Amino acid sequence: MKSAALILTIVVGLAVVVLLSRALDARRTDTQARFAEEPLYVTPVAAKRLTLAFNGLAADWYWMRSLQYVGGKIVTYEDTHDGRIDFGWLGNLDLRLLPSLLRTSTTLDPQFMAPYEYGAMILPELNSDHAINLLNAGIAANPSAWRLYQHLGYVYWKRNDYQKASEVYTAGAKLPGAPPWMMAIGARMKAEGGARDAAREMYRHLYDSSNDDAVKHMVGNQLMRLDSLDERDAIRRVLKDFEVKSGRCVSSWREVFEGLRAAHLKIDQANGAPLDPSETPYELIKNGCDVDLDINTKVPIK
Amino acid sequence: MTDPTTTTTASATAEASIPRRAALLTLIAIARNAFREAVRDRVLYNLVLFVLLLIGGAIFLGELSAGQEAKIIIDLGLSAMLLFGVFIAIFVGVGLVYKEIERRTLYAILSKPVGRGQFLLGKYLGLCATLLVNVVVMGVGVSLALAYLDRGWNPLITKIWPAILLIYFELAIITSVALLFSSFSSPALSALLTFFVFVIGHFSGDLKALANSSSSGAARLLFRALYYLFPNFSNYSAITTASHGLVPDGSSIGLAVVYAIVYSSLVLAAATLIFSGRNFK
What is the tens place of the pLDDT at every residue in B102-161?
A: 888 888 888 888 888 899 999 999 999 999 998 999 899 889 888 888 888 888 999 999
Residues A178 and A248 in one domain: no
What pLDDT was estimated at residue B1? 43
For B71, the closest of A49, A60, A68 (CB atoms) is A60
Look at residue A297 and tell me if it is in a domain: no
Dihedral (Cα; A135, A141, A142, A148), 10-degree rounding? 0
Mutate to test the interface with A, among B54, B61, B65, B68 (most CBs of A within 10 A): B68
Which residues from B are below 8 Å from A209, CB to CB? Answer: none
Q: Where are the alpha helices (DSSP H) in B151-203?
A: 156-182, 187-202
Residues of A in contact with B70 (CB under 8 A): none
Assess if residue A99 is contained within a domain. yes
Tell me: do A101 and A215 sit in the same domain.
yes
Q: List the one residue out of B81, B82, B276, B263 whose CA is nearest residue B177.
A: B263
> What are phi and psi for residue B103, nearest 5 degrees?
-80, -5
| Tens-digit pLDDT profile for residues A148-203 | 999 999 999 888 898 899 999 999 999 998 888 888 888 887 777 777 888 888 88
Phi, then psi, of A274 in degrees rounded to 5: -70, 145
pLDDT number for residue A30:
66
* The pTM of the whole model exceeds 0.80: no
Q: Contact A57/B202, CB-based, under 8 Å?
A: no
Which of B168, B198, B240 to mutate against chain A (most A CBs within 10 Å)? Answer: B240
Work out the pLDDT band at B2, boundaries 50, 70, 90: very low
Q: Is B279 helix (H, G, I), strand (E, B) or coil?
A: coil
Mean pLDDT across the stretch B212-221? Answer: 86
How many whole angstroms separate alpha carbon B232 and alpha carbon B206? 11
| A155 and A59, same domain (yes or no) | yes
The answer to whether the CB atoms of B79 and A67 lie below 8 A apart is: no
> B79, A54: Cβ pair inside 8 Å?
yes
User: What is the mean predicted confidence (pLDDT) over B34-59?
Assistant: 77
Given a cut of 50, the residues of chain A with pLDDT beneath it are: none
Query: In angstroms, what is the C-alpha Rg of chain B?
Result: 22
| Domains: count for chain A | 2
**Long-range CB pairs of B192-199, under 8 A, 24+ apart, other chains included:** B194/B89, B194/B90, B194/B93, B194/B94, B195/B86, B195/B90, B197/B230, B197/B231, B198/A52, B198/B86, B198/B90, B198/B174, B198/B233, B199/A52
Residue A184 lies in a domain: yes
Q: Do A199 and A51 belong together in one domain?
A: yes
CA angle A240, A241, A245 (to 5 degrees): 115
Contacts of A211 in chain B (CB under 8 A): 67
Q: Is B67's CB within 8 Å of A54's CB?
A: no
Do A177 and A287 fall within a single domain?
no
B127 touches chain A (CB under 8 A): no
Q: What pLDDT score does A48 carry?
A: 87
- A21 within a domain of the structure (yes/no): no
- In the prediction, which pLDDT does A40 show? 81
pLDDT bucket at B165, cuts 50 / 70 / 90:
very high
Interfacial B residues in 199-218 facing A (CB < 8 Å): 199, 202-203, 206
Note the ipTM here: 0.78
> Under an 8 A CB cutoff, do B66 and A59 touch?
no
User: What pLDDT does residue A35 have?
Assistant: 67
Is B18 within 8 Å of chain A by CB? no
What value does the mean pLDDT of chain B take? 86
Coil, helix or strand at residue A142:
coil
What is the C-alpha separation between B175 and B173, in angstroms, rounded? 5
Q: Is A252 left (phi over 0), alpha (psi -120 to 50) or beta?
A: beta
Integer Cα distance of B49 and B70 in angstroms: 20
A53, A54, A60 ranked by CB distance to B72: nearest: A60
Instruction: Classify residue A129: in a domain, yes or no.
Output: yes
- A188 and A235 in a single domain? The answer is no
* Residues A274, A148 share a domain: no
Cβ–Cβ contact B68 with A under 8 A: yes
User: Which among B61, B198, B240 has CB closest to A55?
Assistant: B240
- The pLDDT assigned to B11 comes to 53
Structural domain harbouring A121 = 44-221
Q: How far is B34 from chain A (nearest CA, A)?
A: 28
Rounded Cα gap, residues A179 and A205, in angstroms: 10
Do A165 and A100 lie in one domain? The reply is yes
